[in-house]
Amino acid sequence: MIRPAASDGAAIVLEKVDKRFGATHAVKAMSLAVPRGSLCGFLGPNGAGKSTSIRMIMSIIYPDSGQVRVFGGSALGNKDRIGYLPEERGLYRTMRVLEFLTYMGKLKGLTPAAAAKRANDWLARIELPNVAKKRCQELSKGMQQKVQFIAAVLHDPELLILDEPFSGLDPVNARLLMRLIEELHGDGRTIIFSTHQMHTAERLCDRVVLINRGEKLLDATLDEVRAEFDPRTVVVELLSGAEAPRLESLAATMPHVALTERVDGKNGDEWHVHVARDGDPQPVIAAIAGALPVRSIALKQVSLEDVFVELVTAGGGTVPPLSDPTTSGQEVNRG
């Protein structure tokens, strides 16, 4: 059974937070706690309510009801302890890079000298040499994103909130950013990032919050998710396709086997044998391996995407596309 993290000593606590924008119910009675030191992913499709939740955490917008606490108080009183990379990236186009970063450092409470020194150090660390004196508008989009990332971490925050940090980055820069996030997490910082790319979260996070249509579907560590959503699908690669009817006959005789289906696998055809929730897949594996010539047989690795699909369908909903255009018209920016 998954239990939400305890709110005692948590970096962030949301209690029954609700937010509407006109007719749109953006966030529905959301409660969660992000423990200090965790690397937590806010996952869900575009428009799920991730950015709205993050903006409420940042006290940029306020909930209609419920409470948001950051380090036990308001984010307003703790802004200097928080680094934030918003979904909508922004730079002063005509400002020079070092001047912009120094300005942001000063707004985060650093002295001008400390801000300038840290900006130069970070520019070197993030592989952006010789751009300090360039105007922001002269940089490529990827470079601008890196500058914005520096602006978020420049003041050495205890809590780092990154809204879709990998969107628009090429694979090389995405990998660099992942490494930096891991390093910052390794230093003991609490990090939250939102994404609709489940595999990225799977690689980085130790905790995930799944959100869909303003509702929290899941709030757990990755280990808890794997334990809870224990895979019950046995993936079989037969040595010969001619053995397929025998596999289907065998499976049909086994108790707790709900379904057998053929799937296009990486190495050709593979068969997925689905074991019912009250069944144990181990005897199924043993029986198939003993009766048929198989190239490989294993339990399927559960993915967050599978979990998401399962949770949405179990709730009677339809699975939204994981990359969905945003809304239009006059409204507060929200994710």
Partner 1 sequence: MVDASERHGGFGKVVSVAWREFKHTALTKAFVFGAVILPILIWGVMALSALFVSREPPPLTGTFAIIDPSGLVIAEAEKGFRREAERRREGVANVGAAVKAMSEGDANAAMALTDTRGVVEITVRGVSDPAAADSLREEVRDNKLLGMAEIDPKILSADHGNTPLKMLVQTNSSPKHTDLYERIVRDAAVRARVANTGGDYESMQTMLQRPPLNTERIARGGGVAKDRGDLRMLVPIAFMMLLWISTFTSGQYLLTTTIEEKSNKVMEVLLSAVSPMQLLAGKILGQAAVSTVILVLYGGAAFSLLAGLALADLIQPSLIVYLVLYYIMAYFLIATIMAAIGSAVSDLREAQALVTPAMLVLILPMVLIVPITDSPNGTLATVTSFIPPAIPFVMMLRLGGPEPIAFWQIALSMVIGFGSMFGLLWVGARIFRVGVLMQGKPPTPLELARWAMYR
Binding site for partner 1 (CB under 8 A): 55, 58-62, 76, 79-80, 82, 84, 86, 88-95, 103-104, 106-111, 114, 148, 151-152, 155-156, 328-333
The HSE-up count of residue 318 (CA atoms within 13 Å, CB side) is 2
Separation of alpha carbons 296 and 189, rounded Å: 42
Question: CB of 24: closest distance to partner 1 in angstroms?
Answer: 13
Helix, strand or coil, per DSSP, at residue 260:
strand
Q: How far apart are CA 169 and CA 146, in angstroms?
A: 9
Least Å distance between CB 110 and partner 1?
Answer: 6
84 contact partners, CB below 8 Å, separation of at least 6: 58, 152, 160, 161, 162, 163
Residue placing its CB nearer to partner 1 in the complex, 103 or 322: 103
Distance of alpha carbon 195 from alpha carbon 188, whole angstroms:
22
DSSP 68: E
d(C-alpha 19, C-alpha 29), whole Å = 8
Q: How far is the CB of 244 from partner 1 (least distance, A)?
A: 55
- How many C-alpha atoms does 121 have within 13 Å on its Cβ side? 11
